[in-house]
Every structure is written in C-alpha cells, then in structure tokens.
C-alpha cells in the first residue's frame, strides 16, 4: 500500500508546464507508461472510449499545419494561425487524447468523463517520472481533422493535445481556492 500522503504530495506538486526543452527526447517506455495509465481510469459499461495518438518528429508540424489551415479557412486571427503552424514543435511529444462517441448523449458524456479521468492519470505519471506536461485544448472547428489525422474512429471527440517532455524551467505555482464542499447531514 502506498502512503496516501505521498500521493497527495504528487498531486499537489503537479503543474501544467509548457516550459519544455523540445530537443530532449522522452523515453519510449515512459510514453507507454503514461498511455497505459490513462487506460486504468474507470469507464461506464466498459465502453473503453480512450483513444490516444503519440505525435512525434515531423508529424508535429503536419498536425500544426493541418489545424492552422482550418483556422485560416474559418477566418481566425492570422497571428494565432501563424503560431499554430509551429506550436506543436514546442515539445518532443504531443499525445492526442480522444473519446469515442457513445450510443446516446449520456453515454458520450460518460465516455468523455472516463477519458478526462485518464488524462489526470497521465499527468500524475508524468509528474512521478519527472516529466513536464500540459493539457491544451484543440482549436474550435478542428475536431474531425485531428481525429482523422490520428486515425481515430469517426465522431471521436478530441479532448486535448498533451505536450510532453523534459522541463526547461519550473512552471509557476497555481494556488487553489478553498475546496467547495457542502456537508449534508
């Protein structure tokens, strides 16, 4: 049994960190550990909705160009479009996190919750391995293009693009407000 205080410490010390040295690779075994940890999250009805794509090398700029082209076609801010073209080169690894759709709105929502729980598992394993990670949101309008790029099933919802690598600097602390708990007796 692990000491729960160690687990709390791990959770408390985890920070979203995009200050990553893009030149330093991540061990394949570490990437695999993170992916396997995401699969350990609960899911309702055993739908196993998690879909992951590990994007590395030239594929990172292909992904950025793809998303930037969609943003440009939608008339998004040109400076954001330009930044997007190279943004995934900020880390040696980008893990795309998808949730399969369900056979009802409720099931799709639950699939999404299951994958989000898996994302936290990944973030904690990254922290335990001494790696930096940041969950970033997909651009509006780019869901299906990202899903196709990753070879996911149609209608897979992209929940995030997770930057992963070795930190170049520590991320600033993010103090939490008091926990909003209602005690009902």
Ligand X SMILES: Cc1cc2nc3c(=O)[nH]c(=O)nc-3n(C[C@H](O)[C@H](O)[C@H](O)COP(=O)(O)O)c2cc1C
- Specify the residue, 1 or 174, whose C-beta has the smaller distance to ligand X: 174
- Specify the residue, 102 or 160, whose C-beta has the smaller distance to ligand X: 160
Judged by CB under 6 A, the stretch of 2-10, 33-41, 102-110, 128-136 that binds ligand X is 128-136
Q: To the nearest whole angstrom, how small is the minimum distance from the Cβ of residue 120 to ligand X?
A: 9
Nearest Cα to 100, choosing from 37, 47, 32, 36? 47
- Specify the residue, 137 or 179, whose C-beta has the smaller distance to ligand X: 137
Per CB under 6 A, contacts with ligand X among 27-86 are none
The residues facing 97 across adjacent strands are 52, 160
Whole-angstrom distance, CA of residue 179 vs CA of residue 185: 18
Note whether 174 binds ligand X by CB under 6 A. Answer: yes
Q: Which two tokens stand for residue 181?
A: 């708990």
Note whether 16 binds ligand X by CB under 6 A. Answer: yes
Judged by CB under 6 A, the stretch of 42-50, 75-83, 97-105, 133-141 that binds ligand X is 133-141
Q: Which two tokens stand for residue 115?
A: 């994958």
The residues facing 52 across adjacent strands are 97
- Specify the residue, 29 or 177, whose C-beta has the smaller distance to ligand X: 177
Instruction: Kindly state the number of chain residues that form the binding site for ligand X, as judged by CB under 6 A.
Output: 8
DSSP secondary structure string for all residues of 76-107 = --HHHHHHHHHHGGGSSEEEEEEE---SSHHH
Number of H helices, E strands in the chain: 6, 5
Judged by CB under 6 A, the stretch of 64-72, 83-91, 131-139, 143-151 that binds ligand X is 131-139
Per CB under 6 A, the list member of 21, 25, 135, 155 interacting with ligand X is 135
Query: In 10 A of CB 69, how many CB atoms?
Result: 15
Sites of contact with ligand X (CB under 6 A): 15-16, 134-137, 160, 174
């Amino acid at each position: 049994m692990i000491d729960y205080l160690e687990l709390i410490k791990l959770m408390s010390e985890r920070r979203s960190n995009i200050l990553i040295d893009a030149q330093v690779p991540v061990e394949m075994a570490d990437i695999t550990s993170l992916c396997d940890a995401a699969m350990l999250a609960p899911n309702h009805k055993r739908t196993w909705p998690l879909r992951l794509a590990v994007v590395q090398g030239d594929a990172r700029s292909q992904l950025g160009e793809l998303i930037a082209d969609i943003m440009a076609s939608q008339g998004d801010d040109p400076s954001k479009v330009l930044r997007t073209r190279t943004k995934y080169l900020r880390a040696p690894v980008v893990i795309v996190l998808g949730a399969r759709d369900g056979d009802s709105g409720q099931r799709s929502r639950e699939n999404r919750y299951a994958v989000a729980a898996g994302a936290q598992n990944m973030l904690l394993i990254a922290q335990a391995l001494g790696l930096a990670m940041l969950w970033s949101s997909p651009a509006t309008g780019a869901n299906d293009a990202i899903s196709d790029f990753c070879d996911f099933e149609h209608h897979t919802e992209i929940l995030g693009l997770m930057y992963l690598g070795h930190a170049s600097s520590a991320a600033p602390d993010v103090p939490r407000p008091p926990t909003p708990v209602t005690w009902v007796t």
